[in-house]
Amino acid sequence: MSTPYYVPETSVPLPPPEADVIATACDYCVVACGYKVYRWKVAGGRVGGPRAEENAFGEDFPVNPLGAWVAPNMHNIVLHNGEPHHIVIIPDKDTEFVNYTGNSSIRGGALAQKVYNPQTPTRDRLQQPMVRMFGVLMPVTWDFALDIAAEVGNYVLEKHGTNAYGVKTFSYGYMENTYAITKYALRHVRTANFTFHDTPSDVTSTPGFRDAGFDNFGPSYDDWADAETLLMCGTDPYESKTILYTDYIMPAILGGQKAIFLLPRKTAGVAFAEKNGGLCLDIQPGTDLPVVLAIARVIVENGWEDTEWIQNWVNNKWESSSGFGQGTRNTPWQWRTTWGQFQTAGFEDWKAWLLAQDYAIPENAAELAQIDVQKIYTAAEWMAKPRADGSRPKTSVMIEKGFYWSNNTGNTQAISALGITVGAGGRPGQVIGRAGGHQRGGLRGGGYPRNKSPEKLPGRRRRAMDTDRYLMSGHTRLAHVIGTTWVQAMCGSQSLQAKFDELTTRNPHQVDSFEKEDIIATLKKRVDSGGMVVWNQDIYLVDPIGARYADIVFPASGWGEDTFTRANGERRLRLYPKFYDAPGEAKPDWWIIANLAKRMGFEGFDWENSNQVLEEGARHSRGSRKDFNMVLVKARQEGKTLHEKFAEFGTNGIQGPVLMDGDGNLVETKRLHDVARVLPAEGPQGRNVFNKKLTHFNSQTGKCNIQKAPWSLFSSYWEWLKPREDEIWISSGRINERWQSGYDDRRRPYIVQRWPENWIELHPTVAEARGIESGDYVQVYSDRIPVQKDTIVGVEGSDFDFASLLRNGHIELTRASITAVAIVTPAVKENLGYMDFLHTAQPANALAGRVVDWISGNYNYKMGVGKVRKMGESPYKHNFRSMSFARRDIA
Amino acid sequence: MSTVDPKIRAAINGANDEAKKAGTRPCLMNRRSFLLTGGIATTVVMVGVPGMPEAQTPAAISTYPRKLIARLSELNVDEPFDFEYPDEGFYAESILVRLGQRAGGGIGPDQDVVAFNYTCTHQGGALQGTYQAGDKALGPCPLHLTTFDLTRHGIFISGQAYQSLPQVLLELEGDDIYAVGMFGLIYGRFDNLQG
């Protein structure tokens, strides 16, 4: 890890004119800004000069604001074809889209510090496969590690069944890798014990959007800027998708856009909006739903709804039911509607339901949320009140995890209905969607075998397996973990970790031999004894999943170390080319999976390079929001590879779904559900796919389902959970400067200096009552972390309601405690402590209940409670070198 | 010597020991000698110890001009004084301010006088006129809202800066405040002293 003391440099080498220039995109947030890598040999000692003709930028130094400046953090030295090369990585000053001003966030600005250089804190990159022998992970050959993995893997499948083989993987680590992983896990292994990095179950993140017919990433970035009123729920885009804020929303606010935030905590983007006339509905955690419905109520009571839109684009009684009641009723969007809790007979029916909900009366909602009720009325007015000339404000609605991981089903149903009411969806500046977290690098190589899942809900409803609960029950005998922290990234993480300990390190069958056959035999015995073996693919050794639990570690390569492809939050597909050598024997995940699969006897894994993987996977993208199959068709017409074709688009990329017109030109898609878009009358030709969502909504009729969002589905949990006595809400989320688990940031001295460890923002009243000052170490703890321990067969409609689970003994209360550095600030709601969501040593998720949203199967990560007490002073309290306790919401 | 990362050594002494060749005042020489013989680990701990006199801070480069910029007795708390350093070129404009509370690298009896470059180390926004007395901060930058903590060596509070705000190293001689060096690269330049 990096020292927290950072000595800034005072000069930087400039790339000479002959430097290689490689266009790529950022590795981090969903916005995926365009970058250029400048690369030149160290040998010869050549560097560029300050005059335009002496450097690769063609710029005179000093450069202008927004110019091609190279901060020292943007320079590094790497091996390329085995030879040392300088690299300089700066945001692309020529790109036309996304970061069109040549701007970047602090994350992307430090990209050069992520690449492997043994002179920097990246020196602990995993470089050789390792097998745990005598309790220690020892470097071995690929053959040795893969032989063991293949034989034990097949043994588990044959003896304990496919569901005993668990695969927990990143969902976004580039399409070449996710295709290979899902092809292996879902098409060949066919396990239902499969999910992604941020959820215990492979289920939709936004069930309400799915039911309404909204794609998560339908809008274009221009739409967010074109909105006249923008409601942002559960995120400050400045903090985690910076360029979307600074280059789209910020100029829009200065141009008169009315920005409304629904958030319990204020950061710079909120402060800027408020200073410029914006509004922050500073709710307490979990009360989004009543507030959203109260806004909707004010709108419909005043008759401000978008009547014409509703008439054209909302399903009536008969349309709502069409397509239902047929077939198996065994897809999530079908069975959610059969609860009788959500489906309506159209707008008027929904309106009648809404007006009958007491908690949606503005005064009641404001009381629940502890906000000024006037803000509800103001928000309703801004979003929907027609102007004097009868024209309507163009209103858009953005949501993100603070919102949809608080009351997953309820919040997403409520916001969809509000969005429909104000006419958001499918028109310029009038859209609804997610802002996004990570980039969109998923490509499915197989379908999820839902019928193999044990999760049986009332009625004929089967939901994807809760892989955490399955593991807690001892059914997972082999955990294959790819590029994710798993333990601390899930809820109630400390009791989850205790189970991992029991199944792995505390199992009596530990490898005490260096002979391959002995190792295999021991691991089989552990599996048979009810224990678990762990394979871990990653770029760094993660504690505990790799460092403590893994029996085999496969070193992976990442960004810049192979050529990959991925889309951003407006479906823009770009190529991320290889520009330097991966360290040691590290291999891309697709290669690791392919070589394991071949040894296990699976066919169809004979790829020679990442381009071949993507070319095979292209047809699986058809009909998806990032459909790029026609790019492959075009590439083949031109005698190019798919990667070569993507490279031609550079940092501009190409916006999916990509169609082909009659003249053979590729046609991009600016927004989904684009009701004004005219597609060729003769319909799809050749391999073109005209998915319904190009011009309509993603529902049974192509129109929106306006659905009910009963508070009662969540209120029993919320009422039980809400702070008692001296407890406060404990919530968490991203902080601008730190990406995911901080796997790169922990190795950047500059970032470590700012955030050496986890912290908790506390309101002055809470802090004062406990004698806590900024810079103090505090303990954040609770003895009532609820954990759903049993997998039950649901019969009655309420079997999975929290009150029923509690009454019937399916909830266990566990203890948890983590430490943090206190930051006392009025920027948080009074009864809320807010932390970074994923420090591996101080995981905030330890305080969040491991109880899934009982309709969707997602965790409500943002819902935790705990007590806070002072431990003493941290070294940062009086030391000027590290951290800052100044408020982050200065405007 | 082998314990010192070559990059850090280069940052302190210049890429090719330029500092040594350029010649320097004895106190700086001592400081550097201490750095290289004492080992970098010891040194950075010393940098972090509150209450250490400014002279213990490792000056990154010793070829900066020694420039008289103001008199301590004329500085009022929270009233910024503008000056240019290390030259009169682009982005040389800097803030000298008495914060009224102890700060990293602060001089004077209360160790509360600090100086920083005025140009945002993100995209070159001008931070003139953004001093926040309440928070002892510069910013938000008009371009992209970055804020900097002047009590903590110019580290960003929130925002997008690619490095801390360059801190101008100060020395006090009687009542005279001298600028003698810098921590960190000034926006727009590839080298603080070469533009």
Determine whether the interchain pair B185/A891 forms a contact, defined as Cβ–Cβ distance below 8 Å: no
Residues A767-784 as b/e (b if ≥16 CB within 10 A, e otherwise) read beebebbbbbbbebbbeb
State the nearest Cα–Cα gap between B66 and chain A, in angstroms. 17
Kindly state whether B36 is in contact with chain A, defined as any CB-CB distance less than 8 angstroms: no
The reported pLDDT for the residue numbered A338 is 58
Active site residue B144: yes
The reported pLDDT for the residue numbered B20 is 44
Q: Taking 50 as the threshold, does the pLDDT of residue B62 lie above it?
A: no
Contact partners, residue A4, CB within 8 Å, separation at least 6: A749, A752, A753, A756, A881, A882
**Residue A389 CB neighbours (<10 A):** 5
What does the longest C-alpha to C-alpha distance in chain B come to?
A: 46
Enumerate the β-bridge partners of residue A852.
A859
Sheet with A279-281: strands ordered across: A279-281, A258-262, A229-233, A395-399, A432-434
The reported pLDDT for the residue numbered A339 is 62
Determine whether the interchain pair A63/B58 forms a contact, defined as Cβ–Cβ distance below 8 Å: no
- Phi, psi (deg, nearest 5) at residue B49: -75, 120
The beta-carbon neighbor of B155 closest among A119, A272, A754 is A754
Which positions in chain A touch B157 (Cβ < 8 Å)? 884, 886-888, 890
The beta-carbon neighbor of A880 closest among B89, B125, B152 is B152
Determine whether the interchain pair B140/A64 forms a contact, defined as Cβ–Cβ distance below 8 Å: no
3-state SS assignment for residue A264: coil
State the nearest Cα–Cα gap between B70 and chain A, in angstroms. 24
- Which amino acid does the sequence have at A649? F
The chain B residue lying nearest A752, using CA atoms, is: B155
Contact partners, residue A491, CB within 8 Å, separation at least 6: A845, A848, A849, A850, A851, A859, A861
DSSP state of A373: H
The beta-carbon neighbor of A73 closest among B44, B159, B162 is B162
The reported pLDDT for the residue numbered A332 is 64
Determine whether the interchain pair B183/A105 forms a contact, defined as Cβ–Cβ distance below 8 Å: no
Contact partners, residue A457, CB within 8 Å, separation at least 6: A335, A463, A794, A799, A800
State the nearest Cα–Cα gap between B42 and chain A, in angstroms. 11
Q: Taking 70 as the threshold, does the pLDDT of residue B46 lie above it?
A: no
The reported pLDDT for the residue numbered B9 is 44
Determine whether the interchain pair A11/B192 forms a contact, defined as Cβ–Cβ distance below 8 Å: yes
Segment-wise mean pLDDT, segments of 10 residues, chain A, 891 residues: 66 97 98 98 96 97 96 97 98 97 97 97 97 97 98 98 98 98 98 98 94 96 98 97 97 98 97 98 98 98 98 92 54 61 92 98 98 98 97 98 97 98 97 97 96 85 92 97 97 94 98 97 98 98 97 98 98 98 98 98 98 98 96 98 98 97 94 96 86 94 94 96 97 95 95 96 98 98 95 84 95 96 97 96 95 93 97 96 94 88
> Is the separation of the CB atoms in A392 and A306 below 8 Å?
yes
DSSP state of B72: G
Q: Taking 60 as the threshold, does the pLDDT of residue B57 lie above it?
A: no
Determine whether the interchain pair B124/A63 forms a contact, defined as Cβ–Cβ distance below 8 Å: yes
As a three-state string, the secondary structure of A139-198 is ECCHHHHHHHHHHHHHHHHHHHCHHHEEEEECCCCCHHHHHHHHHHHHHHHCCCCEEECC
Which positions in chain B touch A250 (Cβ < 8 Å)? 144-145
> Hey, what are A76's tokens?
């590094």
> Is the separation of the CB atoms in B57 and B153 below 8 Å?
no
Determine whether the interchain pair B155/A8 forms a contact, defined as Cβ–Cβ distance below 8 Å: no
> Hey, what are A445's tokens?
């190589």
The chain B residue lying nearest A49, using CA atoms, is: B190
C-alpha distance from residue A820 to each of A495, A741, A775, A841, A843 (Å): 19, 16, 9, 10, 10
> Hey, what are A114's tokens?
């992520």
Which positions in chain B touch A881 (Cβ < 8 Å)? 47-48, 104, 152-153
**Cα–Cα dist A633/A372, whole Å:** 56
Determine whether the interchain pair A880/B122 forms a contact, defined as Cβ–Cβ distance below 8 Å: no
- Which amino acid does the sequence have at A283? I
State the nearest Cα–Cα gap between B67 and chain A, in angstroms. 19
C-alpha distance from residue B141 to each of B85, B100, B124, B154 (Å): 20, 23, 9, 13
Which positions in chain A touch B45 (Cβ < 8 Å)? 5
> Hey, what are A122's tokens?
């990246």
Of B9, B67, B144, B189, which one is the catalytic site residue?
B144
The beta-carbon neighbor of B160 closest among A242, A880, A883 is A242
Determine whether the interchain pair A8/B166 forms a contact, defined as Cβ–Cβ distance below 8 Å: yes
The beta-carbon neighbor of A246 closest among B15, B91, B144 is B144
Which positions in chain A touch B153 (Cβ < 8 Å)? 880-881
C-alpha distance from residue A786 to each of A261, A789, A802, A849 (Å): 30, 9, 10, 5
A133-136 long-range CB contacts below 8 Å, 24 or more apart? A133/A511, A133/A512, A133/A513, A133/A514, A133/A519, A134/A511, A134/A512, A135/A510
Q: If contacts are CB pairs under 8 Å, which of residues 40-99 in chain B contact chain A?
A: 44-45, 47-50, 58, 60-61, 89-91
Strands A395-399 and A432-434: parallel
The chain B residue lying nearest A244, using CA atoms, is: B144
Enumerate the β-bridge partners of residue B83.
B94
The chain B residue lying nearest A105, using CA atoms, is: B160
**Residue A793 CB neighbours (<10 A):** 10
The reported pLDDT for the residue numbered A323 is 65
Contact partners, residue B126, CB within 8 Å, separation at least 6: A65, B118, B119, B120, B142
- The C-alpha angle with vertex A623 and arms to A621 and A628, in degrees rounded to 5, equals 45
Which segments of A230-283 does DSSP mark as H helices, in order?
Answer: 237-240, 242-244, 250-254, 268-275
Which positions in chain A touch B152 (Cβ < 8 Å)? 880-884
Strands B155-158 and B147-149: antiparallel
The reported pLDDT for the residue numbered A503 is 98
**What's chain A's Rg over C-alpha atoms?**
27
Entry field: residues in chain B: 195
Which positions in chain B touch A238 (Cβ < 8 Å)? 145
> Hey, what are A24's tokens?
């790529």
The beta-carbon neighbor of A884 closest among B152, B160, B195 is B152
> Hey, what are A237's tokens?
């885009």
**Residue A661 CB neighbours (<10 A):** 13
The reported pLDDT for the residue numbered A335 is 60
Torsion of CA A108, A109, A115, A121, to 10 degrees: -120
User: Would you call the peptide bond into A544 cis, given omega within 30 degrees of 0 as the criterion?
Assistant: yes
> Is the separation of the CB atoms in A152 and A533 below 8 Å?
yes
Which positions in chain B touch A276 (Cβ < 8 Å)? none
State the nearest Cα–Cα gap between A106 and chain B, in angstroms. 4
Which positions in chain A touch B192 (Cβ < 8 Å)? 10-11
Sheet with A654-655: strands ordered across: A564-567, A572-576, A654-655
The chain A residue lying nearest B120, using CA atoms, is: A65
**Cα–Cα dist A361/A390, whole Å:** 26
Contact partners, residue A132, CB within 8 Å, separation at least 6: A138, A511, A550, A551, A552
> Is the separation of the CB atoms in A238 and A263 below 8 Å?
no
The chain B residue lying nearest A118, using CA atoms, is: B5
> Is the separation of the CB atoms in A258 and A382 below 8 Å?
yes
The reported pLDDT for the residue numbered B4 is 42
> Is the separation of the CB atoms in A573 and A628 below 8 Å?
yes
- Which amino acid does the sequence have at B134? G
Which positions in chain A touch B12 (Cβ < 8 Å)? 7
The beta-carbon neighbor of A61 closest among B48, B135, B189 is B189
Which positions in chain B touch A104 (Cβ < 8 Å)? 160
Evaluate the CA torsion angle A838, A840, A842, A843 in order and state its sign.
positive
Of B31, B122, B136, B153, which one is the catalytic site residue?
B122
Which positions in chain B touch A734 (Cβ < 8 Å)? none
The chain B residue lying nearest A69, using CA atoms, is: B188
The chain B residue lying nearest A68, using CA atoms, is: B188
The chain B residue lying nearest A104, using CA atoms, is: B160
Kindly state whether B101 is in contact with chain A, defined as any CB-CB distance less than 8 angstroms: no
- Which amino acid does the sequence have at A464? A
Disruptive mutation site among B9, B56, B162 for chain A (greatest number of A CBs within 10 Å): B162
Determine whether the interchain pair B188/A64 forms a contact, defined as Cβ–Cβ distance below 8 Å: yes
3-state SS assignment for residue B131: strand
As a three-state string, the secondary structure of A528-585 is HCCCCEEEEEECCCCCCHHHHHCCEEEEECCCCCCCEEEECCCCEEEEECCCCCCCCC
**Cα–Cα dist A244/A605, whole Å:** 38
Contact partners, residue B87, CB within 8 Å, separation at least 6: B65, B193
State the nearest Cα–Cα gap between A435 and chain B, in angstroms. 19
Active site residue B153: no
- Which amino acid does the sequence have at A575? L
Disruptive mutation site among A880, A882, A885, A889 for chain B (greatest number of B CBs within 10 Å): A880
Size of interface A-B (CB pairs under 8 A): 184
**Cα–Cα dist A488/A843, whole Å:** 6
> Is the separation of the CB atoms in A489 and A849 below 8 Å?
no
> Is the separation of the CB atoms in A691 and A657 below 8 Å?
yes
Residue of A553, A453, A478, A540 lying closest to A747 (CA atoms): A540
DSSP state of A810: -
The chain A residue lying nearest B7, using CA atoms, is: A119
> Hey, what are B78's tokens?
């929270």
User: Would you call the peptide bond into A62 cis, given omega within 30 degrees of 0 as the criterion?
Assistant: yes
CB-hemisphere CA count at 13 Å for A315?
A: 27
